[in-house]
Amino acid sequence: ELIDSGTDYTDRINVVTDEKGTLLSIQDVRLSDEREFYCHVNGLAAGSGVRKTHLRVFAPPDVPEIESVTTGISVTKDTPSKVASCETRNGFPKPNITWYRDENCIVHIVIKSHNGVNIVILSSRMSSDLYSVQSTLEYKVEKEDKDARFSCEVSFFVPDGIRTIESPSVNITVHYPTTMVELWKESPQGLVKEGDTVELRCQGDGNPPPHFIFNKEPDVNFESSRDMLILSSVSRKDSGTYQCHPLKDDGVMEVKGEVELKVHYLDTAVVVPKDEELMHKGEDLTATCNALSSRSTSTVWYKDGKVVGRGNTFHLQNATYERSGPELVGSEEEVQLDEVEGRVVNLSCEALGNPLPSISWNITGSQSWHEVDKKTHKHMTHSVVSVKVTSDITAECNVSSDRGSGVKIFKIKASKNVVVGSGVIIVVIIVCLLLLAFLGSVIYFLHKKGKIPCGRSGKQEITKEKTTKDEIVVEMKTNTKNEEAILLKAVNGDKKGPNDQPSVVNIAHCVHHCEKDTLCC
C-alpha cells in the first residue's frame, strides 16, 4: 500500500504482494535513488522485524577524448613538458584515467627509467550528478619518443565489476639536435661532365631539419637554399671536396657532411691536317686525332656514317675520286665520229667526283641540239644531248666542281649521203668476171705458142723492191703436166670502204728476169 504521495517515487514505484512475499520495483532509476531501503514486517502476536538494503546506481562514461600537443617538444628541456590531455564525461561514480605509451603504462615506464612525469587530474560533478574527469600528462621526452604512440584509458565501476574504455593513440613531435650529417650528389646520375648542372643535398638527423651552409675546401663558401646546393654549368675547376654544416641558434655546429665531386671533361678533338685537305687521285695521307680528357679515350674514324678506322692515327692510301676532284668516265678525251648529214646523234658524258660535279655543253657547228637526259647518283653526274648533223660539229662536255674541272671533246665529220643502186653493182660484178675469163684465155694462148716455157728446175720470184698499195703480183710456177694456178693477191687486202667500187684487176707491167725457164710478172 502506497501511503505517501507527492514524492520523487510517485508514479515510479510499485509494490506487489503474493504468496512468496512483497516485491518493490522502481522505474526510471536515477542517481538520487542510490540510498538504503528498509523492509518492515509486523507479525502482530508473532512480533515484528526490520531489514534493509543499499541500492547503488552506475553510469558508464563517454569514450575518452585525447588531444596531443601540436607544437614540438624539445628533449633539451630540463622539466617535464605537457604531452597530451584526456577527458571523459557523464560517468558515475567518478571514473579513473590511466596513461599509456606504446601500450605500456606510463607509471611503470617512469618507475623503470626514472624519467620525470606529472599527471594532473581535474574532476567536476555536473548538474545531472554525473562526473567529468580530465587528465593532463606532463612528460620529459627523449629522442626515442618521436615514434611513440600515447593513449589514455578510462576505468569505471559496473554492478559486476570494473570496465575500461581506451582512447585512440596519438603521436607527438619531438625536437632534438643534429648529431649526424650526410652529403651526397643527387643529380645527375652517374658521371658528371663539363656543362652539367649538379645538385648536392645535405641531410641531418635532427628535428626540425636545420639550415645548412656549404663550402668547398679550402675556403670557398656558397649560398644555398636550406639543404641543397646547385652548381650550374660546372667545369673541371669545380672538382674538389664539398662540405655542409648545420646551423643552430648560436652558430655553426661542428658536425659536417662531405662528398668528393669529380667533373670529367673531353676537350675538342684536334685533327691534323685540320679543316680541308686537297689531294690528287692516288695520293696517300696520314691524319691524327687527339683530345685531352679526364678519362682514357678511344678514337673512331667515320665516313658517311660508317666506321673506316680506329685509333689516333688514320692512314688513307691511294685516294679515289670520292676524295678528289671530278673525273670523266672513259679513257678518251677526244672522240672522232663520221656521220651522214641529216642524222641525229646522241652524245653521252659522265663524270665522277666528290663534291658532285656539274656538266655543261658547248656545241659549235649546229644550232639544232638539246639535252635529253640528265641525272645524278651519289658521286656521278650523267648528261646526254641530242645533236642534228648539218655540218662538221665540235661538242665540248665541260665538267667542274670545287675541286677542279675537265673537258671531253666530240668531233663529228659530216659526209654527203651517196646512194649506190643495185643495178650498178651487178654491172661491176659482170665486168670483173669477163676480165678474169679474158686473162685466163691470154695465158693459155701464150702457153700453146710456147711463149711461156716453164720447167721443173724451180721457181724464181721477181718483185719490186717496193710495192704500192694497189699493185697486183702474179706468180707462175712450172709443172711437168699443166700450168698451175695463178696467185692473185692485192697488197692492201680485201678491205673496202663504204663508198669504194670493186677494183678491176690489170696487169700493170711484165718484167723479164730470165733464170732458166722461169718468167715472173
Q: What DSSP designation does 180 have?
A: -
Tell me the pLDDT band of 397, cut-offs 50, 70 and 90.
Answer: very high
Question: Given the DSSP bridges, would you call strands 404-415 and 334-340 parallel, antiparallel or unpaired?
Answer: parallel
Tell me the pLDDT band of 126, cut-offs 50, 70 and 90.
Answer: confident
Spatial CB neighbours of 320, under 8 Å, sequence gap ≥ 6:
281
Phi, psi of 87 (to 5 degrees): -140, 140
pLDDT tens readout for residues 224-243: 778 899 999 999 999 999 99
User: What is residue 365's predicted lDDT score, i.e. its pLDDT?
Assistant: 85
The winner for highest mean pLDDT among 39-53, 90-104, 400-414 is: 90-104
Mean predicted confidence (pLDDT) in 378-391: 87
Q: Position of cell 628533449? A: 75
Residue 473 has pLDDT above 80, yes or no: no
Question: Given the DSSP bridges, would you call strands 212-216 and 131-139 parallel, antiparallel or unpaired?
Answer: unpaired
Spatial CB neighbours of 387, under 8 Å, sequence gap ≥ 6:
344, 345, 346, 347, 363, 366, 368, 369, 393, 395, 412
Q: What are the grid coordinates assigned to 498, written together? A: 663504204
pLDDT tens readout for residues 408-436: 899 988 887 655 556 778 888 898 888 88
User: What is residue 419's predicted lDDT score, i.e. its pLDDT?
Assistant: 54
User: What is residue 449's predicted lDDT score, i.e. its pLDDT?
Assistant: 73
Q: Looking at 102-106, 217-221, 424-428, 515-519, which range is the least confident one?
A: 515-519
How many C-beta atoms surround the C-beta of residue 198 within 10 A?
19
d(CA 477, CA 455): 8
pLDDT tens readout for residues 177-209: 898 999 999 999 999 999 999 999 999 999 988
User: What is residue 470's predicted lDDT score, i.e. its pLDDT?
Assistant: 41
Question: Given the DSSP bridges, would you call strands 313-316 and 344-352 parallel, antiparallel or unpaired?
Answer: unpaired
User: What is residue 1's predicted lDDT score, i.e. its pLDDT?
Assistant: 59
Q: What is the pTM of this model?
A: 0.48
Q: Looking at 266-280, 295-309, 391-405, 451-465, which range is the least confident one?
A: 451-465
How many C-beta atoms surround the C-beta of residue 407 within 10 A?
14
Q: Looking at 266-270, 413-417, 452-456, 497-501, which range is the least confident one?
A: 497-501
d(CA 240, CA 214): 13
Domain ranges for the chain, please list them: 13-55, 62-175, 181-262, 327-415
d(CA 414, CA 301): 55
**Cβ-contact 368, 387 below 8 angstroms:** yes
Question: Given the DSSP bridges, would you call strands 174-175 and 73-74 parallel, antiparallel or unpaired?
Answer: parallel
User: What is residue 416's predicted lDDT score, i.e. its pLDDT?
Assistant: 76
Q: What DSSP designation does 210 have?
A: P
Domain 181-262: give its CATH superfamily.
Answer: Immunoglobulins (2.60.40.10)
Residue (of 125, 46, 136) closest to 97 by Cα position: 136
Residue 479 has pLDDT above 60, yes or no: no
**Cβ-contact 457, 516 below 8 angstroms:** yes
Q: What is the rounded average pLDDT for all residues in the chain?
A: 79
108 vs 496, residue with greater confidence: 108
User: What is residue 325's predicted lDDT score, i.e. its pLDDT?
Assistant: 55
Q: Position of cell 685531352? A: 292
Q: Which CATH architecture has domain 62-175?
A: Sandwich (2.60)
pLDDT tens readout for residues 244-263: 998 876 666 788 999 999 99
Residue 6 has pLDDT above 90, yes or no: no
User: What is residue 239's predicted lDDT score, i.e. its pLDDT?
Assistant: 95
Say whether 327-415 and 181-262 share the same fold. Answer: yes
Residue (of 411, 410, 390, 400) closest to 348 by Cα position: 410
Q: How far is CA 370 from CA 340, 365, 383, 463, in A?
A: 19, 14, 11, 58
Q: What DSSP designation does 63 have?
A: P
Task: Tell me the β-bridge partners of 113.
Answer: none
Task: List, as one string, the DSSP characters of 332-382.
Answer: -SEEEEEEETT-EEEEEEEEE-SSPPEEEEEEES-S-EEEEEEEEETTEEE
The CATH number of the structural domain formed by 327-415 is 2.60.40.10
Residue 30 has pLDDT above 60, yes or no: yes
pLDDT tens readout for residues 340-375: 888 888 989 988 887 788 899 998 888 888 888 988
Tell me the pLDDT band of 214, cut-offs 50, 70 and 90.
Answer: very high
